[in-house]
Amino acid sequence: MTTAPRSAVVIGGGIVGLATAYDLSRHGISVTVVDEGHIDQRASSATAGIIGGSSVIPWANDQLWGRVPGMLLDRTKPLYLTWPLPKKLASFLRYSLQSGRPDTVKASAAGLANLGLKGRAYWADLLRDLPEAAELFDYEGCLLFYDSEAAKKGDAKDTALRRGFGMQIDDLTADEVRQILPPLEKPVFGASSVTTAGHVVDPVGLQNALCDGIKRNGGQFAKARAEALKLANGAVISVKAGTQEISGDVFVLAAGQGAADLGRELGIRIPMAPAWGVSVTFQDPGINLKVPLLVLNEGLAITPSRQGLRVSGLLQIGGEGKASTMQARLMTVARQIFGDFSYTGTQTFMGPRPLTADSLPFLGQDTSCTNLFHNFGHGHWGLTQASTSASVVRNLILGRPSEIDISAYRPDRFCNQ
């Protein structure tokens, strides 16, 4: 930017958009957040809330594709497809297959580590003037749980990759795991303890706290769906949102899965698919879980939260947000792990997690519109990466050098493929 902007329009009110908007607002920029406002339908609300637990392993990898045919039929798998399938799915899968090659997976893992492993430090910096949000973070580590020797061996390659990026991981025996966890119905073989990980005890509360912080800093919210960008002379001049035309000096596209349609208007190739995720929180459970638990072969994360025992996971591509099968599966698996435990009620959230073909977000300045910045496509790592991505966008907008290398997240990286 040749002159310092005074106003910014952030399109998208999930965790990435809110973190970005709050970061800009605390640096003196007048912010307007454009979002429909359905907090119970966001990927940010359905998240497990884990920070850095397994955040360097790309979802697209060479081990996945041999299992895809079975996913079409078996609804008990961590990732499955259902009808109606999303548009452009064939193209998305083709790009994902290319990104799943061993050499490409290493590059994707490096890109994930570059954003995700810095998340804790960047969240602490972002929230230093927002203590009501900072207190929602708990850094007591998490466990990667194995119910058999085969499960541990199946995760050995990924564990080596995690350690290669500097994640501190300790191996635990079955007896050591039993001392940490409440009694389990599921067999226990061992676990890997990720000591540098943490979690958010109330993901919805974090979003609300960021909204309050944005408003205290003079920011505004436009409760409407962003429908189109209006361009003139190589720049965005406004966004059409319902009956409104919202103008600003700079624009940030942070609408998760919804950003794909707006991005395609600009001629950017965006291979991204909505993977619907769900969380079920058991209120007042008879279970005292002290640290988050990742059951990798089930595709589940189980976390203690302010509302109760939060069970999250499973990804459904297609189905347009129909979540009853996933909800039932989460409740069944919770009982398979903890037995027939008591609770007084349940709370459910669901939302589309924006999966990119190479597991990396679109992050950086647009190549054709000088005042447009991309910050979307974080998949199921949005909470981990939101603070780091927000700092990247803020530095770009303010004309400051980036603190990290963002070349891997170029918005136009698929345009020549």
Q: Are 346 and 281 in contact (CB under 8 A)?
A: yes
Q: Is 267 exposed, middle or buried (0-12, 13-18, 19+ CB in 10 A)?
A: exposed
pLDDT digit string (tens) for 229-249? 999 999 999 999 999 999 999
Residue 50 has pLDDT above 80, yes or no: yes
Q: Is 34 exposed, middle or buried (0-12, 13-18, 19+ CB in 10 A)?
A: buried
> Which of 305, 240, 260 has the alpha carbon at shortest distance from 279?
305
Residue 226 has pLDDT above 90, yes or no: yes
Residue 401 has pLDDT above 60, yes or no: yes
Q: What is the pLDDT of residue 322?
A: 81
The helix (run of H) or strand (run of E) holding residue 2 is none
Q: What is the pLDDT of residue 59?
A: 86
Look up the CATH superfamily of 7-409: FAD/NAD(P)-binding domain (3.50.50.60)
Residue 417 has pLDDT above 80, yes or no: no
**Percent of the chain residues topping a pLDDT of 90:** 75
CA–CA distance, 391 with 404 (Å, rounded to integer): 10
Q: What is the pLDDT of residue 400?
A: 94
Across residues 266-277, what is the average pLDDT? 91
Q: What is the pLDDT of residue 266?
A: 87
Q: Are 78 and 298 in contact (CB under 8 A)?
A: yes
Q: What is the pLDDT of residue 72?
A: 58
CA–CA distance, 360 with 109 (Å, rounded to integer): 9
DSSP β-ladder status, 300-305 and 308-317: antiparallel
The rounded radius of gyration (Å) of the Cα atoms in the chain is: 21
The helix (run of H) or strand (run of E) holding residue 345 is strand 345-356
Please state, as a whole number, how many other Cβ atoms lie within 10 Å of the Cβ of residue 316: 26
Tell me which of 315-319, 327-331, 355-359, 403-407 is least confident: 315-319
pLDDT digit string (tens) for 334-344? 999 999 999 99
pLDDT digit string (tens) for 55-114? 899 987 766 656 666 665 566 777 777 888 888 888 888 888 888 888 888 899 999 999
| CA-to-CA separations, 382 to 45, 47, 212, 320, 379, in angstroms, rounded | 11, 9, 20, 21, 6
| CA-to-CA separations, 127 to 122, 133, 371, in angstroms, rounded | 9, 7, 26
Query: Which residue intervals of 194-277 are DSSP H helices?
Result: 203-216, 259-265
What predicted TM-score, i.e. pTM, was given to this entire model?
Answer: 0.96
* Residue 167, token pair as written in the block: 């994640």
CA–CA distance, 20 with 14 (Å, rounded to integer): 10
- Of the CA atoms within 13 Å of residue 188, those in its CB half-sphere come to 22
pLDDT digit string (tens) for 6-34? 999 999 999 999 999 999 999 999 999 99
Q: What is the pLDDT of residue 63?
A: 66
**Percent of the chain residues topping a pLDDT of 70:** 96
Q: What is the pLDDT of residue 215?
A: 98
Total residue count of the chain as it appears in this document:
417
Sequence-distant (≥ 6) Cβ neighbours of residue 133 within 8 angstroms: 127, 206, 209, 210, 213
Residue 1 has pLDDT above 60, yes or no: no
Sequence-distant (≥ 6) Cβ neighbours of residue 64 within 8 angstroms: 79, 100
Q: What is the pLDDT of residue 263?
A: 86
